[in-house]
Structure 1
């Protein structure tokens, strides 16, 4: 698998765009004796080396699930309302009632339609505000990131591809991670995937044996692997890639990947390297866009 650094927009219909910066030669590429050609469809990630990843301009880890912003709320909100056949029908009736030949007072049609649209827009605004608040909570959740041989708590939104992170028991994975080491024997950890597939039974993940020792911040700071893998996609159960580490190319499988949205169970903590962030994570690509229907429990507004 070739080693090109390519930036991909990992949203639901996010087009990919190549970086205009030239490739940076990593220590692993030097070991191989040549600069590897960059190939479309693959990405190269330099673990624990932000400077090497900087030219690629990977997407950040901040997420936004809102449907509107200040400028798009009214036009987009009205567009959503008039996608409904009933609203279009009553709009036509209201327009016809304003003609001189109409025997009906236009107020009897315009006022009800206006009220329906107003209530619907208020509902949309409230729901989008709740989404914004939820995004703020998630983006500002703290996670331990390796900095200068120490674990430093930083918000999820500041994570970058290639960062080394520590996730503690019962914590959620802040991004899609390459599993490096665990406090459990034999480099295994247990995860719960209820947020992905609804299953509550624990699943086992196992790190590559060559990375088991990189558990402490001092050892993790020495890890300088190069990950060559697939581009972001919505397949939750597949992963193809290689880890180039200590002059060896080690194949990776879904068994070494910890997906955002899963939580760590029965394990004191694990250490991992960030592979996909934010809207490029498999969970975010897999999820559908926010629905136009009301998601607040107990509400049933069929306007």
Structure 2
């Protein structure tokens, strides 16, 4: 049976057809308004997040088994124990500084105002009254950021080049902080910074414990008591650490500096020796040995250490000087134009 269409139906279809372009125009207007009223921030943020995920694949953190003095037995490749606090490199410095400055609404607003002066209908005063302060302040900002980057580089280089004693089968050898690996046995002297996250194995103190200062880790000047693993502390000599077959099972890297879960196991004994490990057996990177000499096995290095995991990326401050100069110039130009 054929379908019958009434004239009224044709009229409604035709009316809808004529109103379709108007609806599209309204959608465009709403889209433009959303973009100007803050949608650009969401759009830029989404693009940056997508680009970051594409360029930087985050490795999943896992628990690990670390054999004493045998980094070659590690099942996975762990990050290099190098400190890097730089925010930029040679190629990202200029775009990075510009992004950090203009990601704030007020800064971006002043940039848009300056750009609008190229439109004759919106022009107020001379272009240099807008672009000269903007260029001056951005130049000052870049110089300041460049100086800060050089200082960060120098500090990192000094920290990474510090020498430590590493215990090997042939005895002690000197190694740079940046060359320390998971599984290494590192000796740290009194008043020396701990270069990586370690499990406390032995100390020169007869009590089997030592104090460390945590001011470089949590910002508070505090001394904490740490206890060595009983099995390794009771060994007759330091070199006996290579005469036993032992490993540490450590949980995956965590943010919490006040907790730790792990186990110490010595397999060559009969029966095997098992010790539960807690926060009292840990020596976190960036803390300072306050008493005696300690030796520990490295379990976390570089960006997996507690100190790095709890350090947020340095952020640029909003340039209030820039805001004051540009606001003052804008008001002066407006008053001049009105007057």
TM-score (normalizing by structure 1): 0.81
Cα contact 2:68–2:241 (8 A) shared by 1: no
What residue is the counterpart of 1:169 in the other structure? 190
Cα contact 1:43–1:230 (8 A) shared by 2: yes
1:70 and 2:90 aligned? yes
Q: Tell me the SS of whatever aligns to 1:191.
A: strand
Which runs of structure 2 are paired with 1:111-130 in the superposition (5 Å)?
111-130=132-151
What residue is the counterpart of 1:24 in the other structure? none
What residue is the counterpart of 1:49 in the other structure? 70
Cα contact 1:150–1:217 (8 A) shared by 2: no
Count of residue pairs brought into register by the alignment: 262
Higher helix share: 2
Deviation at 1:62, TM superposition (A): 0.7
Q: Which residue of the other structure, out of 145, 152, 171, is the alignment partner of 1:131? A: 152
| Partner Cα distance (1:44, 1:14) in 2 | 24
What residue is the counterpart of 2:59 in the other structure? 16
Deviation at 1:96, TM superposition (A): 1.5
Change (3 A) 1:126 1:14: farther
Deviation at 1:156, TM superposition (A): 0.2
Unaligned runs of 5+ in 2: 1-55, 323-339
1:287 and 2:287 aligned? no
Deviation at 1:257, TM superposition (A): 0.3
Which runs of structure 2 are paired with 1:122-271 in the superposition (5 Å)?
122-214=143-235, 216-246=237-267, 247-267=272-292, 269-271=293-295
Question: Rg bigger for which structure?
Answer: 2
Change (3 A) 1:250 1:217: closer
Cα contact 1:60–1:277 (8 A) shared by 2: yes
| Partner Cα distance (1:52, 1:189) in 2 | 29
Deviation at 1:216, TM superposition (A): 4.6
Unaligned runs of 5+ in 1: 1-12, 19-40, 295-299
**Which structure 1 residue ranges, 4+ long, deviate > 6 Å from structure 2?**
none
Deviation at 1:266, TM superposition (A): 2.3
| Partner Cα distance (1:136, 1:252) in 2 | 33
Which runs of structure 2 are paired with 1:21-100 in the superposition (5 Å)?
41-53=62-74, 55-100=75-120
Higher strand share: 1
Q: Tell me the SS of whatever aligns to 2:226.
A: strand
